[in-house]
Amino acid sequence: MTHQRISFNKCPNNTEAQNLTVVSQFQLMSLSDNPELQPILFVLFLSFYMVTVLGNLLIILAVSSDFHLHSPMYFFLSNLSWSDICISITVPKMIWDIRTQSRVISYVGCLTQMSMFIIFGCMDSMLLTVMAYDRFVAICHPLNYNIIMNPNLCALLLLASVLASLVDSQVHNLIVLQFTYFNDMEISNFFCEPSQLLNLKCSEMFTKNIVIRFIGVFFGLFSTSGIIFSYYKIVSSILRIPSTEGKYKAFSTCVSHLSVMCLFYGTAIGVYIGSTASNSSENCKVASLMYTVVTPMLNPFVYSLKNRDIKTALWKLQKKAI
């Protein structure tokens, strides 16, 4: 027997449950109900999305086309760019909804959006941790860098990041698939953000909440502790360098990663503080826009502006195109 997903304006009792109908879709929240703003929002977010995709694709092309960038640092950077493109996969649906004034999404489409968001959000976090470890090895063990960060280890670290992201997503999927009743059809966001979807459940959630929080805390602590440990060792090593020029040169190799990391985790902390202070749907929308639109769009600019090697590779790409 297949599980039916049912919507009700309140969680049903045993008698009410007999008269419920199957729901195959949800209603998403629009960014604005003002008709005059719709063309502006359409052009704005279409531009943002195009910049995100093109900017990250340029990073990927620059790394793949320039053999000087065939190193662990840029290998992980190109994968971070792929992840940033994929985490913004919810944006085309949002743009289409603005254009058509439709806010409907199917149940399967909703689960797909949630899965993609979790997979590539976790992937970003794991890759930033791996990149911090790469910088730690480069600065603290420069003579053994090529031996330690060999292709096999790089592939293994990438595979571990992918598997961890899939586990995180699958846990959420398995929990959502157990829901039989939903107390509403409207999701208070412009896409199927996990916490908003879980808020619609009618099932008892104590055990499931513990599992979700445990998974979140585990991956969160693993990622942040790995980054903190790596940069503790990096700072300690830099402080032991006698010359100011040497310290600056060593630190400059970490600037791009630090900038992206601060953008990613700064957004996460801001979202958490904002959601704790207020549970309004407006805060949820702003937080989601930061994750799915702003951060993926800014990352290529951070790396291209702060990294001489990337700028050189992009300049070579431009010359080839001309």
pLDDT tens for the 322 residues of the chain, in order: 444 454 444 555 555 554 454 567 788 888 877 888 889 999 999 999 999 999 999 999 989 988 888 999 999 999 999 999 998 888 998 899 888 888 888 888 888 888 998 999 899 999 999 999 999 999 999 999 999 999 999 999 999 999 999 999 988 888 877 766 666 677 877 888 777 777 776 655 666 667 777 887 888 888 989 999 999 999 999 998 888 888 888 888 888 888 888 888 877 776 666 555 555 566 667 777 877 888 899 888 888 777 788 888 888 877 777 6
Q: pLDDT digit string (tens) for 101-117?
A: 888 888 888 888 889 98
pTM of the full structure: 0.85
Domain assignments of the chain as residue spans, ordered by start: 6-321
Distance CA 42, CA 48 (A): 10
Asked if 20 and 8 count as a contact pair (C-beta separation under 8 A), the reply is yes
- Look at phi and psi of residue 13 and say left if phi exceeds 0, alpha if psi is from -120 to 50, else beta: beta
Residue closest to 183 by CA, chosen among 214, 205, 215, 208: 205
Place of tokens 């600019």: 301
Which CATH architecture is the domain 6-321 placed in? Up-down Bundle (1.20)
Residue closest to 54 by CA, chosen among 320, 303, 313, 300: 300
Q: pLDDT digit string (tens) for 22-43?
A: 567 788 888 877 888 889 999 9
For 191, the token pair is 């896409």
